[in-house]
Amino acid sequence: MKASKGFLLFEVIISIAIITSGLLVVMASYSASKRAIESSQELFEASLLLEEKIFEFEERGEIETGELSGEFEKDGAHTWSIYAEEIGGTVLNKMTLNVFSQKYEPKTKYSIAAILKKKK
């Protein structure tokens, strides 16, 4: 008897199924990587904005008790708020700076705290 030189339909279907499942894994991995890159980029941007705003207040050297808020001029996708509260019986205020990202739902909040002298 002669050996068959072709492929059976069953073999072709199995090889297509294996290739398809491999491609699905690669596509899912790509999608997860893309989301991770976007998330880390957002975190990096927010940390730069936090740093910029906290240095602005640290340069002044003092802050008044209460709340302040605003938007970043360079970037319409982020807003900020500051809450400064008195540290009992001292000349210091604890300042909590929040940066909110408007890019994705739900809004993401990034925070940092510092202690500054109370504004007289």
DSSP structure string for 33-70: HHHHHHHHHHHHHHHHHHHHHHHHHHHH-EE-SEEEEE
pTM score, two decimals? 0.68
Task: Please give the share of the chain, as a percent, with pLDDT higher than 90.
Answer: 25
| Confidence check: pLDDT of 45 > 70 | yes
The pLDDT tens digits of the residues spanning 47-92 come to: 888 888 888 888 887 788 889 888 887 777 888 899 988 888 888 8
Break the chain into its structural domains and give their ranges: 9-118
Residues 6+ apart with CB under 8 A from 86: 65, 92, 93, 118
What is the identity of the amino acid at 97? Answer: L
